A and B are shown apart, each in its own frame.
Chain A
Amino acid sequence: MSLFGFSLKPRRAKTAQTAKDRLQLLLAHERAGGSDAADFLPQLQNDILAVIRKYVTVEDEDVDIRVQRDNAVSSLEINIEMPEASSKKDRS
C-alpha cells in the first residue's frame, strides 16, 4: 500500500486480511465439496470400527476423529484406543 515501505496508517494488525484468508480457505473446502465430503465421516467411523472389531474389542467411545483444514493440506486424524494395556497403541 505504501510507496516507500512505510505507511502513515496506524500500525494495527490487518484483520481484514485475516478475514479474507479465513474465508478463502473455508470456501475453497466448501466449494470443492469439503463439507459434503465430511458427511462421510460418520460412515467412515462405523466402517473403521467394524474392521477393528474383527480383531479386538473396542467401544464406540474409544474412537476419536479430528480434522484440521489448512492451506495446503487437510489432515484427518483417527485415534483408536485399544482396550488391553498390552496392545495399547494409537493409529493415525
Chain B
Amino acid sequence: MTTQMKEKPPLGKIIVITSGKGGVGKTTSAAAISAGLAKLGHKTVVIDFDVGLRNLDMIMGCERRVVFDFINVIQGDARLKQALIKDKRLDTLYILPTSQTRDKDALTKEGVEAVLNELKEEFDYIICDSPAGIERGAQLAMYFADEAVVVTNPEVSSVRDSDRVLGLLASKTKRAESGSSEPVKARVLLTRHDQARIDKGEMMTVDDVLEILAVPLIGIIPESQAVLRASNVGTPVILDEPSSAGMAYEDTVARLTGQDIEIRIGEERRPGLLQRLFGRTS
C-alpha cells in the first residue's frame, strides 16, 4: 500500500440512508449517492443492511459476483477484503452485499462496529443502505452514523415514518447516547417529487414536508422514468443516461460533500409528439 497524498479526512464518514417506510427509494438513493461520491473521486463503499432481502446488489448490477457477504465477515467466515465487490464502472466504488439466507439476528452491534471501523480506515465515505422499518437491521444501520439522509416521499405515511426515524436518529444512535459528540446530522431527501401534481394541489409541497419534519433538505429528486430504467439494467441512476433524477442526485451528492448548491426542482421533460413519433435520437 502506498501512502496517499490526497487530502482526506483521517477517517471515513458514515452516512445512513434511511426512511422507516419501504419503497420510498432508499436503495435507489444509496446506489446513486455512493456512485456519485465515487465519481467525484472519493473512495466509497455502500453496505446493504437488509439481511435476508438483499437488493442493493441488483440495483448496482453486481448480483452475479456475490461470493461472501457482510454476515460472513461479521461471523468471521470471510475477510472484509473478500466480501467487498469492486464496481466495474468506477474504481473508487465498492459494494458490501448482505446475506440472502440469514435474518437480521445475524447482525450484532459489535460485529457491525468492527466492520465499520475497518472500512473507516480505508474509505472516505461509508454509505449504509438501511432496511425499511425500525427493527434491528434499521437500528444498526443508523447506530454508528455520522450523518443521515432520510428519504421521504411527499405522502402522508412516508412523512409520518420519516418523523419517527428522525426521532430515533436523535435518541438511539451512538452519537445520541454518548452525549458529548455532535448529534447525527440528519437531512431530508425528497423523492418522487411531481411538480405537475403539486401545481394541481394534489401533492404536498417541499415546504409543507419540511415544515412538518423541521430538518434541512439535502435534495429533491423528481419522479422520473429513468429510475426504473436504471434498476432494470442494474446501473445507479447517476451513471445511466443523463436524466433529471440523475442530475438531482448529483446536486445532492455535491451538498453531502459540503458544497453549497442551490436547491433546484428538476422535472422530467415529457417527450413531445414529434419525439414520441420518431423516437429519441439521443
Contacts and interface: CB of A to CB of B under 8 A. Distances in A.
Interface of A: 8-13, 15-16, 18-19, 22, 25-26, 30, 35-36, 38-39, 41-43, 45, 60-61, 64-70
B279 A10 contact: yes
B276 interface: yes
Contact of B58 (A13, A15, A22, A36): A22
A19 to B, nearest CB: 4
B232 A41 contact: no
Interface in B258-277: 275-277
Contacts of A30: 100
Contacts of A65: 67-68, 82
Nearest to A12: B280
Contacts of A18: 232-233
Given A10-B280, A11-B279, A68 B65 contact: yes
Which 6 residue pairs spanning A and B have beta carbons closest together? A10-B279, A42-B77, A19-B232, A15-B232, A69-B64, A35-B100
Interface of B: 58, 63-68, 72, 77-79, 81-82, 100-101, 228-229, 231-234, 275-280
6 contacts: A15-B229, A18-B232, A19-B231, A35-B101, A42-B72, A66-B67
B77 A68 contact: no
Dominant SS at the B interface?
A: helix
Contact of B101 (A15, A36, A70): A36
A15 B232 CA distance: 6
Contacts of B277: 8
A35 B233 CA distance: 22
A45 to B, nearest CB: 8
A38 B65 CA distance: 12
Nearest to A77: B67
B234 A22 contact: yes
Contacts of B58: 22, 26
Contact of B68 (A10, A13, A26, A42): A42
Given A19-B231, A42-B68, A12 B101 contact: no
Nearest to A26: B63
A35 B101 CA distance: 7
Contacts of A41: 67-68, 72, 78
Contact of B276 (A10, A13, A42): A10
Contact of A39 (B65, B101, B228, B231): B101
